Amino acid sequence: MDPWDENTPECRRNYLAALDNELLTGIVELSGWTCFMVRAVNDAFVAGAWLSALLTSVAAIETHLRTELRQDRYSLQQLIEESGLNPSVREEIHSLRRVRNAYVHVDGPWDDAVFEWDDGAMHQQLREQTFDAMRTLRHVLYAWQIGRTAASHNANHE
């Protein structure tokens, strides 16, 4: 049984700590804005506020990429492509961006039929997407680590 299978705040905190232990192998320097955003993401995730955590994770990624690239006029898509991140990490971000867009730019918001027959599957899908978002966020945050091995650096950068 995974230590975070139970849907409790402590288990979700443990999941974030496990991600950090797995992916953070050096030192990162994060801007004040990035730290602010990541704290908001983590708080929402631990509280089980899946949609808030997912949406804010994309905002945190965008903030971090803007800081790293010193670019405040690029779209998120441009930031992702110019980031120099490994293609698989860039695709993770694009995938997360598309998920975010589906929730932010709802097609047919007047059509509530999806909720009439929903047996919790939509909520479960959002929960799973949010767990994935926590990993993607950390892939981005930890991509510019100082003091890690060349192999781990090459895994995140082209």
- Specify which residues 46 forms β-bridges with: none
pLDDT score for 148: 53
Residue 152: pLDDT over 50: no
Q: What is the CATH number of the domain that holds 59?
A: 1.20.120
Look up the pTM and report it. 0.86
Task: Examine residue 4 and state whether it is found in any structural domain, yes or no.
Answer: no
- Distance from C-alpha of 62 to C-alpha of 17, rounded to nearest angstrom: 22
Q: Across all residues in the chain, what is the average pLDDT? A: 88
Report how many domains make up the chain: 1
The tens digit of pLDDT for each residue in 30-76 reads: 999 999 999 999 999 999 999 999 999 999 999 999 999 999 899 99
Task: Examine residue 44 and state whether it is found in any structural domain, yes or no.
Answer: yes
- Distance from C-alpha of 82 to C-alpha of 76, rounded to nearest angstrom: 10
Asked if residues 156 and 93 have their Cβ atoms less than 8 Å apart, the reply is: no
Q: Which residues of 81-115 are buried (b: 16+ CB within 10 A; e: fewer)?
A: eebebbeebbebbeebbebbeeeeeeeeeeeeeee
Domain coverage including residue 133: 9-153
